[in-house]
Amino acid sequence: MNSKQVRNAGILLHITSLPSRYGIGDLGKHAYAAADWMAKADIRLWQMLPLNPTGFGNSPYAPRSTFAGNELLIDLEALQKQHLLDEQALRSFPTFSQDHVDFNAVQAFKMPLLKKAATAFLKKSGQKPEAYTDFCNQQAFWLNDYALFMVLYEKYQDARWFSQWPKEYATRDKDAMQTFSEENRQEIEIWKVLQYFFSVQWNDFKTYVNSKDIRIIGDVPVFVAADSADTWSNLHLFKTDKEGHFSSVSGVPPDIFSSTGQLWGNPVYDWEVMKNNGYNWWIKRLTRLFDQIDILRIDHFRGFDAYYEIPATDKTAQNGTWVKVDGTGFFKAIHQALGNVPIIAEDLGLMTDSVEELRDTNGFPGMKILQFGFTKDEDGKNNYYDDFLPHNWAEHFVAYTGTHDNNTTLGWFRSLDKQLKDMVLTYLDCKEEDIVWKMIRCLFLSTVHTAVVPMQDVLEKGEIARMNYPSTCNDTNWSWRSVEEDFSNVLADKIANLVAISTRTGRLGN
């Protein structure tokens, strides 16, 4: 029999969703205040979305770089305290929405100030500070390419590198790249400084969070974005045709949710090349992540067992095929390089025995979504999702009321038909007005070793606070924000009480 596992409670809250005067949550005082509030609530896990700079659509799951940090998360006030911005710079700022991020407005306001601070840093430093030089040297394997990519990206106004950049830059012609780098040395250096700012602020923040006995759960998508520094600088790691264009893209096949499947469009890896390189790029990617976070959730875990490959020219996912991946060999290499790192496997959707075997043999906990336990299958029955009901959960899982891709619990419940509403209320033995906290209580009292609740649910928010609508690209996705008043002592005490009675204190013996 396995020894008893520590039981934990967590909150899912992305940095962008924190309060701030500047239109988007950042690594400033409200991030530290949120850590204090979680400690008061006896929460031991803070889960976030990927921390990378976002591209078109603002999705953190389609970043400009899987190694870089999102510059918009940098705290401007900290830069002002370092005398890199004058006092006047932050006295006047637009009137931003408090409950949603307007990414275009934030970008227009914040990026010029960040670049101004970076320029001041370079002028003030004279000779580059040793800490900055060390950072550039240690991160050179991705930082140089990212900084160069971003200068080109701005020059060509967000045009896709693989189809709209001049050929000499798209193909990274050596002479052309050298000339461009020399002509744009200052601009490239500014992007490096911004990454240094992010790194320093993030490291300080993580140290503080950990000092509160809270661990950070990070997130990483299996695939990378087509229009990213990752593909541009490592094209040999992806499947391409003889002209160097992506030959295949990722997605999922037709199912009960979509008759044409989902065409994600991410380029797919050439796993043979990856394997022959000793999975070096992936080892560097995960090393970078574990420098920033404590536990890693892998989005679309089944992609390490098999992935759905679709011809790049297709308009739907109907004609794709499943391609097998040597996941056993991959994780063996990861364990040899990094040790027994803590990973959560996002094993949602259509799973197979081989995916579950890969998950279990590596000791990774899978995920359970409480909302899914009350979802009908194609026959209008519910038994297909019985393993998402708490009375069927095993201990070695991480369970959620919902994730960033789900509706809020209140929004989800309101969307159900009467039959399903009655089923939920009967299962939880509650009235409609108590549904959210009954769901949370059910989650916390379950057998799983880790229970995580989105911040929107503990605040009992409706659908307007939903983080993402999968397979859509609109201004509301990824934009929800909390306000300062949300982090009340009354709410912290309510959560702490539930943590206590469910013995989710993060300690054995409780």
Please name the residues in contact with 195: beta carbons below 8 A apart, sequence gap of 6 or more: 68, 69, 71, 135, 139, 143, 146, 147
The answer to whether 198 and 73 are in contact (CB under 8 A) is: yes
**Of the ranges 100-109, 155-164, 165-174, 211-220, which one carries the lowest mean pLDDT score?**
155-164
Name the active-site residue from 168, 270, 309, 405: 405
The gap from C-alpha 434 to its chain's centroid, in whole angstroms, comes to 30
Average pLDDT, stretch 425-444? Answer: 97
CB burial of residue 306 (10 Å; 0-12, 13-18, 19+): middle
For residue 10, what are its two tokens? 């967590």
Please report the pLDDT score of residue 42 as a whole number. 98
Q: Which of 153, 134, 154, 145 is nearest to 196 (CA)?
A: 134
* Alpha-helix runs per DSSP H in 46-92: 76-81
In angstroms, the CA 339 to CA 361 distance is 15
- For residue 92, pLDDT over 50 is answered with yes
Q: Is the dihedral of CA 106, 290, 299, 17 positive or negative?
A: negative
Distances 346 to 170, 444, 447, 453 between C-alpha atoms, Å: 34, 19, 19, 16
69: how many CB neighbours lie within 10 A of its CB?
A: 23
| Residues in the chain, total | 510
Please report the pLDDT score of residue 84 as a whole number. 96
DSSP code, position 63: B
Share of the chain above pLDDT 90, in %: 85
- Is 357 part of the annotated catalytic residue set? no
In angstroms, the CA 362 to CA 243 distance is 39
pLDDT in tens, 385-430: 678 899 999 999 999 999 999 999 999 999 999 999 999 999 999 9
The answer to whether 286 and 219 are in contact (CB under 8 A) is: no
- For residue 241, pLDDT over 50 is answered with yes
pLDDT confidence band for 87 (50 / 70 / 90): confident
Average pLDDT, stretch 325-339? Answer: 98
pLDDT confidence band for 379 (50 / 70 / 90): low
pLDDT confidence band for 510 (50 / 70 / 90): very low
Q: Which amino acid is at 410?
A: L
Residue 224, classed as helix, strand or coil, is coil
CB burial of residue 268 (10 Å; 0-12, 13-18, 19+): buried
The answer to whether 75 and 28 are in contact (CB under 8 A) is: yes
Helix (H) or strand (E) holding 454: strand 450-454
- Is 299 part of the annotated catalytic residue set? yes
Please report the pLDDT score of residue 187 as a whole number. 98
Please name the residues in contact with 142: beta carbons below 8 A apart, sequence gap of 6 or more: 65, 67, 68, 229, 233, 284, 288
* Alpha-helix runs per DSSP H in 96-238: 103-125, 130-138, 140-155, 161-164, 167-170, 174-183, 185-211, 229-233
Please report the pLDDT score of residue 1 as a whole number. 32
319: how many CB neighbours lie within 10 A of its CB?
A: 11
**Of the ranges 81-85, 90-94, 498-502, which one carries the lowest mean pLDDT score?**
90-94
Average pLDDT, stretch 337-346? Answer: 97
- For residue 202, pLDDT over 70 is answered with yes
The answer to whether 18 and 32 are in contact (CB under 8 A) is: no
In angstroms, the CA 69 to CA 125 distance is 23
In angstroms, the CA 276 to CA 371 distance is 42
- Is 432 part of the annotated catalytic residue set? no
Q: What is the DSSP string of 227-281?
A: SSHHHHH-GGGB-B-TTSSB-EEEEE---SS-TT-EEEEEEPB-HHHHHHTTTHH
Average pLDDT, stretch 167-195? Answer: 97
Q: What is the pTM of this model?
A: 0.96
Highest mean pLDDT among 87-96, 330-339, 341-350: 330-339
* Alpha-helix runs per DSSP H in 304-452: 327-338, 353-361, 409-415, 418-428, 435-444
Q: What is the CA radius of gyration of the chain?
A: 23
Mean confidence (pLDDT) of the chain: 94
Average pLDDT, stretch 11-38? Answer: 98
Please name the residues in contact with 177: beta carbons below 8 A apart, sequence gap of 6 or more: 148, 169
Please report the pLDDT score of residue 436 as a whole number. 98
Please report the pLDDT score of residue 375 as a whole number. 80
pLDDT in tens, 36-79: 999 999 999 999 999 999 998 999 999 999 999 999 999 999 99
Using DSSP, how many helices (H) and how many strands (E) does the chain show? 19, 12
Please report the pLDDT score of residue 337 as a whole number. 98
Residue 485, classed as helix, strand or coil, is helix
The answer to whether 469 and 262 are in contact (CB under 8 A) is: no
pLDDT in tens, 163-175: 999 999 999 999 9
pLDDT confidence band for 2 (50 / 70 / 90): very low
Bridge partners (DSSP) listed for residue 243: none
pLDDT confidence band for 507 (50 / 70 / 90): confident
In angstroms, the CA 329 to CA 109 distance is 47
Name the active-site residue from 75, 189, 299, 305: 299
- For residue 13, pLDDT over 70 is answered with yes
Q: Which of 350, 357, 352 is nearest to 331 (CA)?
A: 357
- For residue 291, pLDDT over 60 is answered with yes
The answer to whether 53 and 68 are in contact (CB under 8 A) is: yes
Average pLDDT, stretch 233-247? Answer: 93
Name the active-site residue from 346, 347, 457, 486: 346
